[in-house]
Chain A
Amino acid sequence: MATDKPKLAVHKFSSCDGCQLALLNLGEPLLALPGLVDIVHFAEAGPNSPNQAVDISLVEGSVSTPEDIQRIQQVRQNSKLLVSIGACATSGGLQALGNFANRHEWMTSVYSDPEKIEVLNSSDPISKHVKVDLQIQGCPVNSTQVIGALRDLLSGVAPRPEVHSVCMECKRKGLICTMVTQGEPCMGPVTLAGCGALCPAAGRGCYGCYGPAEQLNDRSISDRFEQLGLDAQAVLRRFRFIANSAAGFKAASEGLRGDTDG
């Protein structure tokens, strides 16, 4: 049924669907959403009309196949605003670890007919292929952040970017620093806030899934991790994990002594 409400689409590329599930997990705010927008495409939730023109597209997942390139260009053409959500869409995701390895070797060792697999040489963030209006990090995204951004876009204002480190979230919540009290290496000081300090709240160190903080002193935290007992390879893996291809973390891991073939 046609209405004059803004149209929203949620697209999926190479990803685990976790960011879409995070949206579905919102609870009550999710019920208010159809009052504000027409959700014309959100396959995980039901509506399946990927080629409609929309006001806002939320895009989950990375670009990793030639077909993905065609499709994201189509999504871009169909969308007034394009918002990439999650680690895959904003930095290439966990699957971008393949960018550091020999893709051909891996495929021939895993698949019997690797020639039937058509993939790009890298898993890329959406922004590598089309213009992106807003990026929201996280693995998965914090759905409250996504909804807040949607509200801002519907009001015609620019969403406010997160600028703090995870440490600030820990301290505001009264969580005790695992690095200082247990000597557990934690990526919190160099990781962008937004998750609500989920891992430190469970008594373990942050593993950096939200990507680099606004100021990234990778050399200093790497030295600290080594003092706390991590070897060079283990330090490298702290950066080369979920947000491995986010610009700051990628540069950090490439500059580390433990860098090998992956």
Chain B
Amino acid sequence: MARSLRVFVLFINLLSSLCLAELKVGLALDKGGRDDKSFNAAAYKGALEAKEKLGITLKTVESSDDISLEPTLRTFAQKGYPLIVAVGFVQRDAVEKVAEEFPKTHFVLIDSTTQASNVRSVVFKEHEGSFLVGALAALSSKSQQVGFIGGMDIPMIRRFQLGFESGVKYVNPKAKVLNNYVGSTSDAWRNPTKAKELALSQYNKGADVIFVPAGASGLGVFDAAEQTQKLVVGCDSNQNWVKPGKVLTSMLKRVDIAVYQAIELETKGAFKGGVFDLGLAENGVDYSLDEFNRNLVTPTMETKLKAIRTEIIKKQITVPDYYLNMKKTASPS
């Protein structure tokens, strides 16, 4: 009896897998988890959208620490998931290793790159998005002074800074940009108290808009903007709602679109490995405009931004890329 039952169950399983043939997608998030209101949340949103529109089977796992990243990916691969999405640059090494072990499985790596042919690495042109919000900051600044507060002092955030500064200077060459970093250790991502101090200091020196790619530390800058009645520009996800009326805009990294696109390609059987660098042209980066900041962005500003955006896409404006600068100084030439 038990045996026949087991055969029956097996048969049903087989039948269902043949009939439905839904694509199984494994989504591996990093420490932030699906509610981090930022990077992971965006990836989860993209995957959910794919689940609704494309009818995939989605399994999401949040890693509680960096050590469990690799086993998570391996378990997905062993269970026969054809597509595994790994979110966050901390997963790079894990993806590289597991992708080599399972060459037939497809991987998507968000925010970092690797050479393996079965991995689709998606990175973003942060400097282009930063250029755009820099231009908007300069357009809206009355004091001709704007600020930049980065989290940890690493090349990726320097890339934001260079893009932002170029955007500001493009609109108003006379404008001054104050630059600060919260710190040089990973504590710098979660030190809102310090970030608020930096923001108060910049506002006090005359800056009236501050761009803040600083992770959770950024919340301190939002507090400072509220206290001094000045403006702040959010980062990564749409943060306009955090302090309505005080957030000029947010620079967006469209992780949701990147994840959705990768899943869509897989369902069409058109998955391709390699490095995909998403900029303004690919809608990979953008700035946000919604009911919370509608009154802060005038139609004139919006028209100007649209023009700048088109010019960047057409490559009439070259946005300096910190990564390229680094390579130049690194090479002996």
To the question of whether A and B form a pair in one complex, the answer is no
